[in-house]
Structure formats: C-alpha cells, structure tokens
Amino acid sequence: MNVAIMGYGTVGSGVAEVLKKNHEHIVKKSLQESLDLKYILDLRDFPGDPNEKLVIKDFNTILNDETVGVVVETMGGLRPAFEFVSACLKAGKSVVTSNKELVAAKGLELLALAEENNVNFLFEASVGGGIPIIRPIIQCLSANEIEEVAGILNGTTNYILTKMFMQGTAYEDALADAQRLGYAERDPSADVDGIDACRKICILADLCFGREVKPDSFRVEGIRNITSADVGYARAWGGVIKLIASAKSENGGSNISLRVSPAFISGDSQLACVNDVFNAILVRGNALGDVVFYGRGAGKLPTASAVVADVIDCARHSERRKPFGWSDAPDGFVLGEGEFTSRFFVRTQSVKESVLSAFADAEFITFDGAPADETAFVTGMIKKQELDEKLAALGGVKSVIRVTDY
C-alpha cells in the first residue's frame, strides 16, 4: 500500500521523516507487505530535499492512483483541504489529518463521507499533538459517562503564562520571547486569543458528548489581559493561571457548557505542573474519576508520530471503519454564557465590606505588592449571569477569572 502526503510543511515533512526512520517497524505494525511514501503534494519546490523526487503539483495524480490507500492531509486551513479530503474519501482512500480547523468545522460531514465510502477519516494529531487522546476517549473510557473534558491545549500560551508565573515576566515580554523562539507567530492571535484551543476543545466535546459543537457557539477568551498582578494573586491563593479549554456535561447530559478562558488552577492539581509548551488533557468519567494525558502538544516529530499511528491504523484496518462519529447538536445544546457555573476570582475597586454584602462567602486574597485601592476575592459556586448582575451592582470591577475544581 502507498501513502501520499498533502502539504510538506513542518508536520508533513515530519510524517515523511517518521515513515522513513521507523520504516521496518511501521510496515510490520501495519500488517501490509509494504507501506511506502509515493507522493508529496505541495505547490513549492524542495531542491535538495531527500524526498524532492516525490513532490508533485497536481492533486489528481494522487486521486487517480489506485495504489494510494492512505492520504495524509497536513496542509492546514479549510480550503482547499476540505475539497481535497472530500475527494479522497469519495475515491475510497482513507484520510489522516492533523488539521484541527478542518476537523472542528467539517468533522461531522467528513466522517459521514468516510462512512459512506467505507474508509477511515482519522485525526488523532488534531488535538494534543503527539499525546494519545482521541482513541483513549473512544475506547478506553467507553465504560464511563464522561462528565467533563478540559485541558491546556495550546503550547504557546502555556509557555507565555509559565514565563509570567516563574520569572515574573510581563505578558508583552513573554510573548516577544515566544515569538523569538518560534513558538508564536508574528500575528499571535490564533494562540493568545484562544482560537486554537477553541477548535481543539470542540473536537474533544464532539467525541466526548456525541454532538457537533461549533467553534463560534460559545465564549472564547484569551490571555491578553492577564497581568502580573493576576499572577501574584494566583500565587497567593496557592495556585497558577492556565488557559483552560473545557467542555462539561450539564443537566444530566442534555446540555454542555463550553469555555476557553484563563483560569485559576490549584497548586495541587495535576494541571498546575504542566509548564512551558507542554499540553495536558483531563478527562473526568463518572466511574473512573480524573485521568490526565500529558505530553508535547505540538512539534514536528511528536505530531507526525500521531499522524503515522493513524496511517498504520488505516492500513491495518483497510477493510473496516473505526467506530466513531457524532451527530448534529439540537438547538440550545450548548448552554449560554450566563448559565456557566463556577467559582470566580474577582478584582474590584470596592471595599471589603461592600464585597461581603454581595458575596457573603467571599474568600479574600492579597499579597505583598498587590495593587493598592483594590479588593481581590474568590467567590463560591455561582452562575455567571448572577455573578455579572452582582458585579454590576458592586461596580469598579477590574478583572474576573474563573477558578476550576480540578
């Protein structure tokens, strides 16, 4: 069986490298006589690249070659990735992708297309890079009703927050550092505004709760507004600040609440120890309790390794579809922002007495060097809508950050 790669960027070239590096091992695992890289589709030329001769410009070469059984899509973006992947599936070729944007936006449609054509559409690498998460959710945790899935899904923002926390670096300087190291793009919006984490949590929510949720159906908040003072308060409280993407079953599974936002994480949480560019995903099952999967959420070889595991799976099970998928979500499935229930950290210009009259259970926090003329506290469990109403009445609110229970 032959393999084609569409998109020879970081991940695509990593896939070629892993296929070569572990070739013998991979062929054996795939139960095929051979598993060879035949084409690399890319508009660019790669003079001097060891795979230079495999590079083609015409997608139809792949589409019309019956020896190509598995196509790897590592182009990124929605178009033409969506059209190419659709065409491959219709032509009876299995497709493996690392493209979270594609899966988050078109996963339901592509899985249906794969099913119709009796091939596989796999996307382990689209969430958590090399961390095995999609298969464990589908198979290993199958005895559980999943109550919540949450995690640190973006390495760039985690690097920035770690630097702010460990070294007291200001946000702008930590971002500049991440850009210098190649962790952040020149336009860092997809990372720092939570867009990347949002796509990933949508995919995890689809898998865990069986309904397709759209990236634009809920509140997404990035880390741009996190200050050194917030970091100081988190430390004084006994924890850290992480960008947490989460999806939680609500009302006995009739709804879910989704959120991407900075959060206070207790220092004894397993997520609190996840530093630098590492990712971690927590899954809470009703029988299992919490399990956490940790590793490199990005990077050439880790991500490529997840792609190649999917390629092996496609080759190994060329006669059979992997058993997952989800269906459309009914209207109102994703709860509105106001329904989101949590504890919250609040900084306000109001005095303690005013805070206590609105939040009798407020737990005040301060630290040496805390900004003057403000009061900081953590609330008890409260609906976001109720919180907003109380804070509007209180006035002088400077920032609000949720507090997780994991």
Which residues make up the interface to a copy of itself (CB under 8 A)?
14, 18, 21-22, 25-26, 29, 31, 124, 130-132, 135-136, 139-145, 268, 270, 272-275, 278, 285-296, 299, 301-302, 304-309, 311-313, 316, 323
Least separation in angstroms between residue 301's CB and a copy of itself is 4
Nearer to a copy of itself, 63 or 292 (CB): 292
Q: Which is nearer to a copy of itself, 118 or 142 (CB)?
A: 142
Shortest Å, Cβ 21 to a copy of itself: 7
- Measure the CA–CA gap between 264 and 240, rounded to whole angstroms: 6
- The token pair at 36 is 């060879």
- Rounded CA Rg of the chain: 23
Residue 260 is classified by DSSP as E
Least distance (Å) from a copy of itself to the CB of residue 318?
14
From its phi and psi, is residue 38 left (phi > 0), alpha (psi between -120 and 50) or beta?
Answer: alpha
| Cβ distance to a copy of itself smaller for residue 89 or 271 | 271
Tokens, residue 170: 């200001």
DSSP 3-state of 348: strand
CB of 136 to a copy of itself, least distance (A): 4
DSSP at 355: H
CB 208 within 8 A of CB 202: no
| SS3 at position 372 | coil
DSSP label at residue 213: -
Q: How far apart are CA 41 and CA 248, in angstroms?
A: 39
Write down the least CB distance from residue 220 to a copy of itself, Å. 27
Q: Which is nearer to a copy of itself, 229 or 292 (CB)?
A: 292
Q: Residue 11 — φ and ψ, nearest 5°?
A: -70, -45
* C-beta of 287 vs 392, nearer to a copy of itself: 287
- Specify whether the CB–CB gap between 92 and 68 falls below 8 A: no
Residue 296: count of CB within 10 angstroms of its CB: 18
Catalytically annotated residues: 200
Strands 94-97 and 121-122: parallel
Are 318 and 202 in contact by the 8 Å Cβ rule? The answer is no
DSSP class of residue 371 equals P
DSSP for 26-49, written as a single string: HHHHHTSS--EEEEEE-SS--TT-
Torsion over CA: 112, 122, 136, 283 (sign):
negative
Least spacing, CB of residue 306 vs a copy of itself, in Å:
7
Residue 275 Cβ, how far from a copy of itself at the closest point, in Å? 7
Closer to a copy of itself by CB, 278 or 359: give it: 278
Which residue, 311 or 391, is less far from a copy of itself as judged by CB? 311
